[in-house]
Amino acid sequence: MSEAAVIARHSVSDTSVPTMGSVLIIDDEAAIRESLQTLLEMDGYTTETAESGKEGLTRAGEKPFDLILLDVALPDANGIDLLAELRQRDPNLPVIIITAYGTVENAVRAMQSGAANFVQKPWDNEKLLADVRAAVARRRAEEENVQLKRALKQRYNFENIIGKSEAMLKIFDLVAQVAPSRSTVLLQGESGTGKELIAKAIHLNSPRRDRPFVPVNTGSMPPDLLESTLFGHLKGAFTSAVASKKGLFEIADRGTLFLDEIGTMGMDTQSKILRVLQDRKFMHLGGVHEIQVDVRIIAATNVDLKQLVKEGKFREDLFYRLNVIMIDLPPLRQRKEDIPLLVEHFLQKYTEENGRASLRMTSEALRSLLTYSWPGNVRELENVIERAVVLSSGSDIGLDLIVDHIAGRGSSFPVLEHRADASLFDIIEECERRIIAEMLEKCNWNQTEAADRFRVPLSTLNQKIKRLNIEIKKKARD
């Protein structure tokens, strides 16, 4: 290495120039490698070099680089052929071709092979640095975008469970934490809150993911049929048992059995479930031989099992066996910040299913969804969006496609109950009045705080309060 190059590189390291990126230089000429190293390191890049195609491929496979500077004429390879191999390994890796043979043919071949740029020797230092900076910036921007999308998907869309509210993010974290174990999980929440989706997420993130996930609604079957379904039976075990049949515990062996609405299960069936949890054994109906199984049980309920235990309707020992890990799913009305995400998800789902162009929810329609109490939770919201998509005729879903359902449930539009002739403007105005009044009440009638939460200037909020004749109550605290 020349004395000037050594001094330049030493001065760069002494001044602690921040790393702009990592560059691999593949060129068989030592003078070229040294010159490029000096130029790039003085601009803040870290560099490594290789003097042949074989060495370049080895170094590129040992660690990731932000950019490769590649000579065309290498002693053991054609640089453009090497470019194709490098791009096959990492399609997003930027490669700048450098050559003393700047023919149009070479340039076209290089760009067709995916080169970020084509530079002819001798190069212009400033232009080369500009090309390097642009290529590295694109590389990092693409990586950050991929990472951001991945993080958002993982954070807000966990196995098709949508949510960014604090309550849902805690549930996502809990699911990820408990999934690898074999512990029994009890899911508690109102109907429509997504208990089966959570159960599937636990299964799919567990070592049992490649084995069956078997759901059964225990509340939809009479006791005899439920026991036969769960444990199976032998031929002749009862009048209609014309053939032997496996039960769901056998089908779910080494997988997961999801028992939904477990609070409706009869006491006799509860005792048999308890035995499977304790001993991992059961018998077919009409059978005398025990069958060993390895099944993880996830149970769900929309009623308070503790209260059922107090009332003598649910076995206390089974409750504690099921309640090893309890996940409480909040109703939609307690996580309204998730509604816009859910709306977007269901809009995309049902426009694709129905072969429709993209649809947009108007701000008035979305506002109406945000003020509704959603007694049917996410399932009800999904049904509303599906109906709106099917009935929509334009590119927007407006209040007219939403209000019928919500008003029919007697929630957020009391004006409709008193005025059958209410216009769309009246409905929207009443909706806006209610939203502002509810927010003011949440903020203890502090208008500045309410304006901050709405992300509007205080003057704008005051104008709306005046226009809508909203009575400002005296603060409960100073």
* 10-residue averages of pLDDT along the chain (478 residues): 38 46 92 92 91 90 89 85 84 84 62 76 88 86 61 56 85 89 93 92 91 88 83 77 83 93 90 90 83 93 91 93 94 90 89 87 87 89 90 84 63 42 64 81 82 77 84 58
Half-sphere exposure at residue 471, Cβ-oriented, CA atoms within 13 angstroms: 2
- Interstrand relation of 325-328 and 281-283 (parallel, antiparallel or unpaired): unpaired
Q: Is the peptide bond before 122 cis (omega within 30 degrees of 0)?
A: yes
Q: What is the pLDDT of residue 178?
A: 92
Listed by start position, the domains of the chain span: 3-148, 161-330, 334-467
**Whole-number Å distance between alpha carbons of 338 and 363:** 16
Distance CA 365, CA 373 (A): 15
CB 282 within 8 A of CB 291: yes
Query: Looking at residue 477, what is its pLDDT?
Result: 43
**Cα 308 versus chain centre, distance:** 35
Q: What is the rounded CA–CA span in Å between residue 70 and residue 132? A: 12
What pLDDT score does 262 carry? 92
Say how far apart CA 237 and CA 240 lie, in whole Å.
8
269, 230 in Cβ contact below 8 A? yes
Options 2.60.40.3950, 1.10.8.60, 1.10.3720.10, 3.40.50.720; CATH of 334-467: 1.10.8.60
Nearest-CA neighbor of 426 among 461, 399, 405? 399
- The beta-strand segments (E) located in 27-108 are 45-50, 67-71, 95-99
The amino acid occupying position 241 is A
Q: How far apart are the first and last CA of the chain?
A: 75
Specify the residue for token string 């304790």. 278
Answer whether 3-148 and 161-330 agree in fold.
yes
The architecture of the domain spanning 161-330 is: 3-Layer(aba) Sandwich (3.40)
Q: What's the rounded Cα separation, in Å, for the pair 41 and 190?
A: 61
pLDDT at 319: 94
pLDDT at position 147 = 59
Bridge partner list, 258: 215, 298
Strand ranges across the sheet with 117-120: 45-50, 21-26, 67-71, 95-99, 117-120
Interatomic CA distance for residues 75 and 54, integer angstroms = 10
CB contact set of 43 (below 8 Å; sequence gap of 6+): 17, 20, 129, 132, 133
The pair of structure tokens assigned to 356 is: 């429709």
**C-alpha to C-alpha distance for 292 and 222, rounded to whole angstroms:** 26
Q: How far apart are CA 242 and CA 236, in angstroms?
A: 6
**Rounded CA gap, 57 and 24, in Å?**
10
- pLDDT given for residue 467 in this prediction: 82
For 186-251, the DSSP string reads: EEE--TTS-HHHHHHHHHHTSTTTTS-EEEEEGGGS-HHHHHHHHH-B-TTSSTT--S-B--HHHH
Q: Which residue has the tokens 């809009």?
A: 347
CATH of 3-148, one of 3.40.50.2300, 3.40.50.720, 3.40.710.10, 3.30.460.10: 3.40.50.2300
Provide the angle, in degrees to the nearest 10, between the axes of the packed helices 3-14 and 30-42.
30
pLDDT at 186: 96
H or E, element range at 103: none
Cα 43–Cα 39–Cα 139 angle in degrees, nearest 5: 55
